[in-house]
Structure 1
């Protein structure tokens, strides 16, 4: 996951990633007479980012809080079965699709690849480096052994299936490797997507989804690895006793044990699992699926403002992940419903509909969701090492540890967002505001929507 929305002007600067600045207050009535402008603020999508980050947090509390004797007990495994890996994976999938959607929605005409990529680097790396530095300070990381920290710091650790680098340092940062590939390819491939005729956009989305299904089917059929439908984290932990992976201890959690850093080469990850979940090229089509869906909305061919049915479809598809092989449950089943939720939320925002996700508290939580995502694991490591180590903790104690990690992660995320993210990403705004105040070209406008009735006026194409 990464911070994927944009807080700049409608002229589509992508330095920052918040969609809410200049938003219409939640109490204001929709103005059916104003056309929705490409690049308009999307507060509901900002608020939705929080739910995705929270889903990842819930999964990580089950995996990265090894408190004994609760950890490994029957109660623990009951919870682990109810919170399988696809809970957190769904949040990551949401961010990948949302990232593609927002990058096109806020694209600045005439922007250069170099300027675009540099803005994204300035957004991603500072918070990432804060999380890495925190872990280096509290873990026995052998800095002389580059493989334990350099791939993660440089965000290249998921390009090969080696647990020594793949699981090193801040584990949630793996998704940033995919995000960096997204941003490196977007400026060069998006002109091709812009050339697709509006009437062919549904077909293009279908072809992209078919490509994703075919890719994962090939992984399932031909790649070595786990083929079952069980919890992938549970399966991984179950093989830890044979020495393939280090076990958790009372002082250090998963992949934070000194035994992990002591290995020169820990071994290869499950190839099928790595290809379907971690490998950046496998996740690239999800990003461009989001790009295509953004074009669908901009073209006026997505008209739905009723959020209940995309959410219902997402719930049903997510429930189905319990009964399909793991490499399909990570993202494939929920991709199209996720895209439908994002498209509908965008149309609602652009037409003045306001709901829970567009309220001030939810928008703030969405603002800090990127920092929350990256700081949660360092916080859990600190809590395990300095508060839980050496103590016997049961289910109630685990819940208290979860609550403590949640509060500390929230505080840490708020501080990082306020003192690291905002000063870096908002510095150039004053100069851009005058430039971006120029009238928006007619071709950059979306169709006029009438949210108060069933009538919508769409441009003739």
Structure 2
């Protein structure tokens, strides 16, 4: 006699196994803007266009587009991930099917992007520490260069996503026990926990204590553009160890530190589903997000990356969902924006390998200013979008349709950390 598969509890007691929640095109379209913010930061830092990156003009531009630009996009995706996971699963889904779908959603695209980077950068495969932790998505758990900064750099966030998905079936019963009237209080507690956690990192963990931006290009001597950005160079792969600042690693890349952001998204989804979030005016949460983002210029590094942004980011996500439920359409609901949102996960992962290729064959050995960087950045944007579309339509969709048990819901367009 075989045991029936364990199933996930229903998100709302009145739902039936065949019931699906409405699609949320605004959230899908908004994914593109978050991915684009990450791209802009990466293009500025990871395209080694010399002497532009050594100029006063670059330093002024980088002051206005620092690390927290890309980090804000990551925060959006972590909160959104919790929201969508809760929103999209159906009552009665087996835990085994849930895990299978999550693995299939993450790994195929990740492995293709990793292979593209290996080929583009000529990664020494005999050094397993350089690439194996990354391929397995365990690299963000150890604060070493070979695990955090090795291989395809943007993939660090997928280690957090895997933790989110692993814990979701285990903690969902706890989430479900929170009374509807106390959801906002529970969300506030999570925000306070995050702020307290980052304060502890700032006070008691070694690392930068100032308010200056801590993320800048790794420059090499000379005014001629190198053929490889340092994170994709043989010199980088050959180094035995480059530890990162402990407080930076704990606050930004350590998966457990990012777990509350996911569950803030889960609680936000419950608020929308159970009628506790009714605001459809986007201006107030967007203004709050702009103000907290501006505040990142004057706080220590530990608070720049996510801590100040998670509350207004959750409010933006909830408001976009509420607007969809009320039939309010905007730019993000346009079919082209929804398509860009669908391919945004692949775009997020393939952008760095494309930058490595463009650097190796077009930038390396030359000298360029701001116009040169702009042209190369636009080229990478076009190539990355085309490659992401190919990955989404020829890898992600066929894999999900063939092996995930059934066609993915429209809202389930993949993780981006």
TM-score of the aligned structures, taking structure 1 as reference length: 0.82
1:55-454 correspondence runs (5 A): 55-234=37-216, 237=218, 250-263=226-239, 265-427=240-402
Give me the whole-angstrom Cα distance separating, in 1, the residues matched to 2:228 and 2:283. Answer: 43
Query: Hey, what's the Cα distance between the residues in 1 that align with 2:270 and 2:366?
Result: 54
Write out aligned runs for 1:12-23 (5 A): none
Q: Which residue of 1 aligns with 2:5?
A: none
Alpha-carbon contact 1:56-1:88 (below 8 Å) kept: yes
Cα displacement string for residues 237-260 of structure 1 (whole angstroms, at most 9, x for unaligned residues): 48x89xxxxxx9611013111101
Q: CA RMSD of the aligned region, Å?
A: 2.0
Counterpart-to-counterpart distance in 2, 1:167 and 1:367: 27
Give me the whole-angstrom Cα distance separating, in 2, the residues matched to 1:191 and 1:314: 31
SS of aligned partner of 2:53? coil
For the residues of structure 2 that align with 1:411 and 1:424, how far apart are their CA atoms?
19
Q: In the alignment, is residue 39 of structure 1 matched against residue 21 of structure 2? A: yes
Contact 2:51 2:225 in 1 (8 A): no
Q: How does 1:22-33 map to 2 (within 5 A)?
A: none
Distance in 2 between the 1:223 and 1:431 partners?
A: 46
For residues 287 and 51 of structure 2, the distance between their equivalents in structure 1, rounded to whole angstroms, comes to 38
CA shift at 1:426, angstroms? 2.6
* Equivalent pairs, count: 391
Determine if contact 1:38/1:298 at 8 Å carries over to the other structure: no
Contact 1:63 1:254 in 2 (8 A): no
SS of equivalent residue, structure 1 residue 115: helix
Which residues of structure 1 form unaligned runs of 5+?
A: 1-10, 13-36, 242-247, 437-461
Give the Cα–Cα distance (whole angstroms) in 1 for the partners of residues 236 and 404 of structure 2. 44
Q: Give the distance between the partners of 1:117 and 1:230, measured in 2 at CA.
A: 41
Contact persistence 1:127–1:416 (CA under 8 A): yes
Query: CA deviation digits over 1:169-205, x for unaligned, max 9?
Result: 1000000000000000001101110111111111111
For residues 44 and 152 of structure 2, what CA distance do their matches in structure 1 show? 16
Cα distance in 1, alignment partners of residues 133 and 377 from structure 2: 29
Q: Deviations over 1:70-90 (max 9, x none)?
A: 122111111111111000000
Give the secondary structure class of the aligned counterpart of 1:68. Answer: coil
The 1:431/1:266 distance shift into structure 2, 3 A limit, reads closer
Q: How far, CA to CA, are the matches of 1:38 and 1:197 in structure 2?
A: 22
* Separation in 1, partners of 2:20, 2:266: 13
1:99 positional shift: 0.3
Q: Is there any run of 5+ residues in structure 2 with no aligned partner, and where?
A: 1-9, 12-18, 410-417
CA distances 1:50-88 after superposition (whole Å, capped 9, x unpaired): 000000000001110001111221111111111110000
- Residues 1:210 and 1:127: Cα distance change in structure 2 (over 3 Å): same
Q: 1: distance between equivalents of 2:355 and 2:173?
A: 43
Aligned counterparts of 1:77 and 1:256: Cα–Cα separation in 2:
23
- The CA distance in 2 between the partners of 1:388 and 1:431, in whole Å, is 44
Return the offset for 1:266.
Answer: 2.0
Secondary structure at 1:232 match in 2: coil
- Alpha-carbon distance, 1:430 to partner: 8.8
Q: 1:340-374 deviations in whole A, cap 9, x for unaligned?
A: 11101111111211111001110011011001100
Deviation string 1:83-122 (CA, Å, 9 cap, x unpaired) is: 1100000000000000001111112212222211110100
Q: Equivalent residue of 1:250, what SS?
A: coil
SS at match of 2:231: coil
Give the Cα separation in 2 of the matches to 1:56 and 1:361: 20
Q: Distance in 1 between matches of 2:86 and 2:406?
A: 22
Using a 3 Å threshold, how does the CA distance of structure 1 residues 38 and 342 change in structure 2: closer, same or farther? farther
Counterpart Cα distance in 2 of 1:38 and 1:341: 23
Distance 1:184 1:47 in 2: 26
Normalised by the length of structure 2, the TM-score is 0.90
